[in-house]
Amino acid sequence: MRLQPKYFLFVWGLIVLGSACTDPPPPALSTKDRNLIDSLAREKIKKVKPVLDSICEAEFDTRVKGLVDSIMKERLDEIDIQLKRKKQILKHSEK
């Protein structure tokens, strides 16, 4: 079974057009460029880290208190649901 030329051209056209729509690969960085970027990032992190640490330390107690309060609320809501179920069960068992 031999492919007709028009089908061959159609398939070839699909392949060519399909591969033309892909994004070009990102440019590759040289080792020198990567080292420069790493050293610049390290310097910025050294400058920002103390500020972020102090912010985290200042907000820690507030955040923990808020989390504990929300967990307590969830647990109390669960207890209320269980108590309501128990009352319903007792009410239905008395009938």
- The verdict on pTM exceeding 0.75 is no
| Buried b / exposed e along 55-88 (16+ C-beta atoms within 10 A) | eeeeeeeeeeeeeeeeeeeeeeeeeeeeeeeeee
User: What is the spatial distance between Cα 15 and Cα 9, in angstroms, rounded to a whole number?
Assistant: 10
Using an 8 Å Cβ cutoff, are 37 and 29 in contact?
yes
Q: pLDDT per position in the chain (95 positions), as tens?
A: 565 777 778 887 778 777 666 777 788 889 999 999 999 999 999 999 999 999 989 899 888 999 999 999 999 999 999 999 999 988 888 76
Using an 8 Å Cβ cutoff, are 14 and 6 in contact?
no
pLDDT at position 21: 67
pLDDT at position 13: 79
